[in-house]
Copies of this chain bind each other. A is one copy, B any other.
Amino acid sequence: MEYVTGIQKKETVEIRTILESGCNNQVVKVNGMVHTIRDMSEFAFIVLRKYDGLVQCVFTKGSFEFDLKTIKEGSTVEVEGVVAKEERAPHGFEIRLLNIRILSQPVMDAMLPLPIAKWKMKTSLETKVALRPISLRNVRERAIFKLQEGIVRGFRDFLYSEHFTEIRTPKIVAGNAEGGANVFKLEYFGKKAFLAQSPQTYKQTMVGVYDRVFEIGPVFRAEKHNTTRHLNEYTSVDFEMGYIDSFEEIMEMEQQMLQHTFAFLKEEYANELRILGVELPDIAQIPQVRFDRAKELVAKKYERRIKNPYDLEPEEEQLIGRYFKEEYGSDFVFVTHYPAKKRPFYTMDDPENKKFTLSFDLLYKGMEVTTGGQRIHDYHELVAKMEGKGMDIADFEHYLSIFKYGMPPHGGLGLGLERLTMKLLDEVNVRETAMFPRDVTRLEP
């Protein structure tokens, strides 16, 4: 009998292995995709692209049998050669080739549609997104999504350490918890179904099981407006925690999560931060301001009239961000006590003034990246609120059952991963930080 034993004998090495060994004249095998070829007549530089960086190889013509014309950008190869220190090369070393083995070839007469080997492609967002399968091969572009991986890892590490349990909730659902018309419909074996706009009812359900839960997964919003800050499918970072004494505990938890994550990026994703020129924000403390107070502050400082005391226009959001940057040097601000009208049915009203709620948004550089708050946990109170909003409680039988049989005081939040990444990178369009963005006109690639 043949067995799979899990013992791999890969001869090729990674960049980090070469660096750790000191780069001193040892012979190594390396694989990668041809990034650029520079023919210098007597010799040629063949730069390989690997997941963790570029490797400069030097081919001295005639040193072994090989025709440079047999490879081009996009060929994948395994090379063998001697490692030598070379300050001008990426990572400070080059490989002087002894052999090249071609592993695969692109279509030889196909011309790359984008200059992916350049540091900045100077291409429109539209073109980059339309050609994502290729534009992501650019070193700077791919660093964006590597960094995004790091953000998610940082969040998860933190949440595990705080005893949150990771859950996976269904994306095909029967109900529409967030309300509104922005929901994708589908037919499900003869029944009407929806794509989940958020894991809201499920994550609350699971607080009754694990006390603290989180999910990082796709959510779907059929928003018809094409803006620089909306996606129709995005990654939502959701957590929900039981046994809270106030909704402020949720903000405290988020602030710690962000602190932990930025420290984690500094430690583990320094390469991507450098490539992208990202300066991590200082968030030792985040200012906290009431919704109505924030409106007043902005109206006064920037001489704006308050049109509607119960709503926040995008421009006002930007100005609140600007205000707290100018006055307190903070990129972040927690805006609390949003009007009850503007929050979903499950939001807990402020007992001191029922026009407002025990809720918050986190603004980052003037844009909402998180919405959160305390939820109603009392069955009768929740039913009354739903009936007041004209909802049919029969549609929420399963959800209501958790309150019927007991739920601790709890609350949580949802954070948009692409928006947070966008603001961290100072991008102006959320499509820059969505791997394969979905918007009103875009279903491919």
Query: What residues on B are CB-neighbors of A210 within 8 Å?
Result: 51, 142, 146
Given the interface contacts A106-B404, A285-B5, does A206 sit within 8 Å of B165 by beta carbon?
Answer: no
**A378, closest chain B residue (CB):** B104
Using Cβ atoms and an 8 Å threshold, which residues of chain B touch A398? 132-133, 444-445
- Report the minimum CB–CB distance from A421 to chain B (whole Å): 11
A137/B103 contact (C-beta < 8 A), A438-B172, A443-B191 known? no
> Which of the residues B1, B175, B218 comes within 8 Å of A168, measured between beta carbons?
B218
- The reply to whether A377 and B104 contact each other, CB–CB distance below 8 Å, is yes
Chain B residues contacting A188 (CB-CB under 8 Å) are 184, 232, 443
Q: Which residues of A171-205 have CB atoms within 8 Å of chain B's CB atoms?
A: 171-175, 184-189, 191, 193, 195, 202, 205
Q: Across the two chains, which residue of chain B brings its CB closest to A7?
A: B252
Count of A interface residues, CB-CB < 8 Å: 121
Query: Binding site of A, secondary structure by majority: helix, strand, loop or mixed?
Result: mixed
Residues of A near any B CB (own CB < 8 A): 1-8, 10, 12, 14, 31, 33-34, 50-52, 73-76, 78, 103-107, 110, 112, 131-134, 136-137, 142, 145-146, 148-149, 152-153, 160, 163, 165-175, 184-189, 191, 193, 195, 202, 205-206, 208-212, 217-218, 220, 222, 224, 232-233, 235, 242-243, 248-249, 251-253, 255-256, 259, 284-289, 328, 334, 377-380, 398-399, 401-409, 435-436, 438, 440-441, 443-445
> Other CB < 8 Å A-B pairs besides A137-B405, A171-B171, A218-B218, 7 of them?
A5-B284, A6-B259, A51-B210, A134-B402, A137-B209, A170-B436, A174-B443
